[in-house]
Amino acid sequence: MLIAFNKPFKVLCQFTDGPGQGPARRTLADFGLPAGVYPAGRLDFDSEGLLLLTDDGALAHRLTDPRHKQRKTYWVQVEGAPQAGQLAALRKGVVLADGPTRPAAARLIPEPVLWPRHPPVRFRKAVPDAWLEITLREGRNRQVRRMTAAVGLPTLRLVRVAIGAWHLAGLQPGQWRAA
């Protein structure tokens, strides 16, 4: 079984919250997902979008193992007005504290039609923002956020819209479907 789930903002990618983390946080257990499925990969607590869940360990391995190089596509709202050199740096790969990234597809896109985020991204009249579409074939911890920061474009909002052939299309936050 494979499930496509639209993970809302501020939800953990696990079914229980660890002890000692302060106030209880929302988890996958809050969304009526089928029993026996587990996330194939992760999506940060403060990121939104497509999360695949499965009860098939071999499939989970194929989806998450870096050797299989699954494409992951994100829509990223960044602070600032991206310049050609910044986009070129993302495409070439940037050097992070844990080493250089692989080249990524990166392009400026019009603001996508998305659900409202609660709380909303803070609007600053004097600071421009823009949307990028970034596609990676690796998946380091907080990689997209670290890459955009490295080129001077801090991430304001991050939504994963696709993993390989699976897409978020039609799912609202907290909704899921068989994939």
Predicted confidence at residue 61, as pLDDT, reads: 87
Q: Which amino acid is at 179?
A: A
71-163 to CATH, choices 3.20.20.70, 2.60.40.420, 2.102.10.10, 3.30.70.1560: 3.30.70.1560
- Asked if domains 1-68+165-179 and 71-163 share a fold, the reply is yes
Question: What's the whole-number average pLDDT of the chain?
Answer: 93
Q: What is the pLDDT of residue 126?
A: 80
User: Do 40 and 60 touch, CB atoms closer than 8 A?
Assistant: yes
Catalytic one among 44, 55, 98, 129? 44
Q: Which band of pLDDT confidence, cut at 50, 70 and 90, is reported for residue 35?
A: very high
- Per-residue model confidence as pLDDT tens digits over 112-124: 999 999 888 887 7
Angle between helix 84-92 and helix 143-150 axes, rounded to 10 deg: 140
Q: Domain residue spans in the chain?
A: 1-68+165-179, 71-163
pLDDT by residue (tens digit) across 56-70?
999 898 888 877 778
Q: Residue 154 in contact with residue 78, Cβ under 8 Å?
A: yes
| pTM for the whole structure | 0.94
Greater confidence (155 vs 127) lies with: 155
- Tell me what pLDDT residue 127 has: 84
CATH 3.30.70.580 for domain 1-68+165-179, yes or no, is yes
To the query of whether residue 44 is one of the catalytic residues in this protein, the response is yes
